[in-house]
Amino acid sequence: MILTVDIGNTNTVVGIFKGEELIESVRLESNRSKTVDEYHLLLTDLLDLKAIDIESFEGGIISSVVPTLTGTMEKAVSKIIGREPIVVGPGTKTGLNIMYDDPKEVGADRIVNAVGALKKYGAPLIIIDFGTATTYCVIDKDKNYLGGIIAPGIGISAEALFLKAAKLPRVDLVPPENYLNKNTVDAIKAGIIFGRVGEVEYIVKHLKEEVGVTNAKVISTGGIAPTINGLTKAIDIYDNNLTLFGLRDIYEKNTKNRK
């Protein structure tokens, strides 16, 4: 079995693969104050709860956009699997040709998503990850990672509105029934949700035109993705576990010659 860990700014997702099958996944808070021992105990308890035999792990892999958590989680995972996990970064084999001005600037999560999406859906692709930031990544028909767009995530945008406008209440991030609303709560929901739908449709349209990938599949992932998907035809496929599958694929690329 393989232990996969994706550390995001808000959440950390842990996946357990048996062969190519994702048999368990758990979402945790990305808590920067936890120690190695605390994460080790947390992960061990989770594995016990899921009746996962720790002795069955052959290895592990981590992607992270939170540098202060990377080393902590690496040590915690090492204590569980009995060896150092792969940490996605410079020098990791991905099979991607990254066309960024400086490839090292591309976040590990974006690379991992691209690897996972390429294997599952082929190219060309546009991948939208609705996380703490909303990221758009473009892969052309030759599997070149061309670049993309980084926008404030829907949660960040909502929080900024509440913090800066004293009289506006916090609201659940669910769409209202109407575009035109006559109460503050639904008016805020409409602005936040429908505004993001408009962003997606505009950006996807212009990315396809600019890069010449009009036939690209548009894949979405991330917690709020199902809500946005239901409001637009610009997104073709929702894949909740895209990052975990990408991690598994990268693990295979970096270990197959050692088996």
Q: What is the rounded distance in angstroms from the CA atom of residue 57 to the CA atom of residue 3?
A: 7
Enter the tokens of residue 150.
């980084």
Q: Which CATH class is domain 97-245?
A: alpha beta
> Residue 66 pLDDT more than 60?
yes
Radius of gyration of the chain (CA): 19
236 in active site: no
CATH code at 2-87: 3.30.420.40
> Residue 129 pLDDT more than 70?
yes
CB 144 within 8 A of CB 97: yes
Q: Which residue of the set 53, 101, 109, 239 is catalytic?
A: 109
For the sheet with 2-7, list strands across it: 21-29, 11-18, 2-7, 59-64, 86-87
**If pLDDT is split at 50, 70 and 90, which confidence band does 223 have?**
confident
Give the residue ranges of the annotated binding site for substrate.
Answer: 100, 107-110, 184
Strand partners, 27: 13
Neighbours of 251 (CB within 10 A): 22
> Residue 123 pLDDT more than 70?
yes
**If pLDDT is split at 50, 70 and 90, which confidence band does 257 have?**
low
Give the residue ranges of the annotated binding site for K(+).
Answer: 129
Predicted confidence at residue 168, as pLDDT, reads: 87
Predicted confidence at residue 258, as pLDDT, reads: 60
Mean pLDDT of the chain: 93
| pLDDT-wise least confident of 116-130, 163-177, 228-242 | 163-177
Mean pLDDT calculated for residue range 27-53: 92
> What are the structural domain ranges in the chain?
2-87, 97-245
Per residue in 162-179, is it b (16+ CB within 10 Å) or e — as a string?
Answer: eeeeeeeeebebebbeee
Give the residue ranges of the annotated binding site for ATP.
Answer: 6-13, 132
**If pLDDT is split at 50, 70 and 90, which confidence band does 64 have?**
very high
Predicted confidence at residue 50, as pLDDT, reads: 87
Asked whether the domain spanning 97-245 has the same topology as the one spanning 2-87, the reply is yes
pLDDT digits (tens, 9 = 90+) for 94-106: 999 999 999 889 9
What is the model's pTM?
0.91
Predicted confidence at residue 115, as pLDDT, reads: 96
